[in-house]
């Protein structure tokens, strides 16, 4: 019925071949693959890349200067020459929105990276040390968190005056607090895991445990928080500029452009529409990306 040949014993090699042949994949390769499968997140990422590229190269390529006034062409509607129309001084709104993107994005990224830096170190130390130190450090965060941002703004207006500098200081003071809380919570969760105990048993220093073990494993939530904090900072800058506490003319941020356009909203609605639209699209894109990242990093979805 069967060939006797088939009943010969298997050699050791025949048994061990093809074991562990699946290609090695790191956690981040997995994350990237899952992220790339999320259509909204990819769309968000593409939009962000496009906006950044336009902000960097757009103004150079445009025939208009952001502060070049042309009174013959004031309050023009969108056309072939001026894609987004012009404002009351005849300045090209397209190039001003692109130029505003530079300031808005710079504020968003810079404020978020400062908050990342301070928040991760502060939260990491607080969570890892625990006990009294943790109580005091988190008490300070609570205080910073509970003071409304407007109070910092008003104080800084008096001391420093309006402008980019006070926006950065405002964001710098208040933005790292949520990041510190998230990092602390992650570190608290991880620090009793057995691989941390193993590192302690080997004699690893606290700094080494924090940098080599705790923070790399908290990177997921840190990245998500960072992604969500960028649009937050952009919006805050827009808001501060809108109420007149931000950059001043002829510099243009999206908030300033929106603010300038409000007066003539009834007659020239496009002057508000384009900068406000830019803010919305950017914030939406970051939120799509943040949502996608959160799903892609969620260990519960991992096999």
Partner 1 sequence: MLAGAKRGEVIMLLKVENLKKYFGNIRSVDGVSFSIQKGETLGLVGESGCGKTTTGRTIIKLYEPTEGRIIYGGQDITSLTPDEMLSFRKKIQMIFQDPYASLNPRMTAGDIIREAMIIHRIPRDEQQDRVNHLLRLVGLNSEQAGRYPHEFSGGQRQRIGIARALAVEPELIICDEPISALDVSIQAQIVNMLEDLQHELGLTYLFIAHDLSMVRHISSRVAVMYLGRIVELAESEELYASPKHPYTVSLLSSIPIPDPDKSDSRETTALQGEIPSALNPPSGCTFHTRCPKAKPECSMLKTQLADTGNGHFCACPFV
Partner 2 sequence: MSFFTSAGEVKAVNDVSFHVGKGEVLGIVGESGSGKSAAVLSVMGLKGSAGKITGGSILFDGQDMNSLNMRDIRGRRISMIFQDPMTSLNPVLSVKYQLEESLRRHHWKGDIHARALEMLERVGIVPASERIMQYPHEFSGGQRQRIMIAMAMICEPELLIADEPTTALDVTVQAQILDLMKALQKDSGMSVILITHDLGVIAGMADRILVMYGGQVMEQGTRREIFYSTAHPYTQGLLRSVPNPDSPKERLIPIEGQPPDLLNPPEGCPYVKRCPEAMRICLHRKPENISLSDTHSYSCWLGQKGVK
Q: Which residues bind partner 2 (CB under 8 A)?
A: 1-2, 4-10, 14-16, 19, 22, 34, 301-303
Work out what residue 13 binds among partner 1, partner 2, none; the CB cut-off runs from 5 to 8 Å by kind: none
Work out what residue 6 binds among partner 1, partner 2, none; the CB cut-off runs from 5 to 8 Å by kind: partner 2
Work out what residue 146 binds among partner 1, partner 2, none; the CB cut-off runs from 5 to 8 Å by kind: none
d(CA 223, CA 230): 11
DSSP string, 181-230: HHHHHHHHHHTTSHHHHHHHHHT--HHHIIIIIIHHHHHHHHHHHHHHHH
CA neighbor of 89 nearest in space, from 74, 72, 68, 67? 74
Pick 63 or 203: Cβ nearer partner 1:
203
CB of 193 to partner 1, least distance (A): 5
Pick 189 or 281: Cβ nearer partner 1:
189
CB of 228 to partner 2, least distance (A): 24
Hey, what are 54's tokens? 């336009």
Is the backbone peptide bond immediately before 135 cis, with ω within 30 degrees of 0? no
CB of 202 to partner 1, least distance (A): 5
Pick 157 or 188: Cβ nearer partner 1:
188
CB of 4 to partner 2, least distance (A): 7
Residue 63 buriedness (CB in 10 A; 0-12 / 13-18 / 19+): exposed
**92 φ/ψ angles, rounded to the nearest 5 degrees:** -70, 120
Pick 12 or 25: Cβ nearer partner 1:
25
Pick 132 or 303: Cβ nearer partner 2:
303
User: Which residues contact residue 284 at a Cβ distance below 8 angstroms, ignoring those fewer than 6 apart?
Assistant: 44
CA neighbor of 51 nearest in space, from 247, 223, 283? 283
Residue 184 buriedness (CB in 10 A; 0-12 / 13-18 / 19+): buried
Hey, what are 66's tokens? 């952001």
Pick 19 or 194: Cβ nearer partner 2:
19
Q: Note the residues at the interface with partner 1 (CB under 8 A).
A: 20, 22, 24-27, 193-195, 197-205, 208, 212-213, 216-217, 219
Work out what residue 193 binds among partner 2, partner 1, none; the CB cut-off runs from 5 to 8 Å by kind: partner 1
Work out what residue 198 binds among partner 2, partner 1, none; the CB cut-off runs from 5 to 8 Å by kind: partner 1
């Amino acid at each position: 019925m069967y060939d006797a040949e088939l009943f010969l014993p298997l050699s050791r090699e025949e048994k061990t071949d093809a074991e562990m042949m699946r290609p090695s994949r790191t956690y981040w390769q997995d994350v990237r693959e899952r992220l790339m499968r999320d259509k909204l997140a990819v769309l968000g990422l593409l939009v962000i890349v496009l906006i950044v590229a336009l902000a960097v190269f757009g103004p150079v390529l445009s025939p208009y200067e952001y502060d070049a006034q042309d009174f013959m062409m004031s309050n023009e509607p969108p056309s072939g020459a001026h894609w987004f129309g012009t404002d009351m001084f005849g300045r090209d709104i397209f190039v001003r929105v692109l130029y505003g993107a530079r300031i808005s994005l710079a504020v968003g990224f810079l404020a978020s990276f400062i908050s990342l830096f301070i928040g991760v170190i502060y939260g990491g130390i607080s969570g890892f040390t625990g006990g009294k130190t943790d109580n005091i450090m988190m008490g300070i965060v609570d205080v910073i968190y509970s003071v409304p941002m407007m109070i910092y703004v008003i104080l800084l207006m008096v001391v420093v005056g309006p402008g980019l500098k006070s926006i950065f200081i405002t964001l710098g003071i208040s933005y790292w607090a949520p990041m510190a809380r998230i990092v602390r919570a992650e570190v608290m969760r991880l620090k009793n895991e057995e691989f941390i105990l193993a590192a302690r048993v080997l004699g690893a220093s606290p700094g080494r445990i924090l940098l080599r073990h705790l923070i790399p494993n908290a990177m997921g939530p840190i990245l998500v928080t960072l992604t969500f904090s960028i649009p937050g900072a952009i919006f805050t800058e827009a808001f501060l500029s809108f109420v007149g506490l931000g950059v001043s003319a002829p510099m243009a941020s999206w908030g300033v452009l929106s603010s300038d356009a409000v007066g003539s909203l009834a007659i020239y609605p496009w002057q508000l529409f384009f900068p406000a639209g830019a803010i919305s699209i950017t914030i939406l894109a970051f939120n799509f990306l943040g949502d996608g990242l959160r799903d892609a990093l969620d260990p519960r979805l991992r096999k």
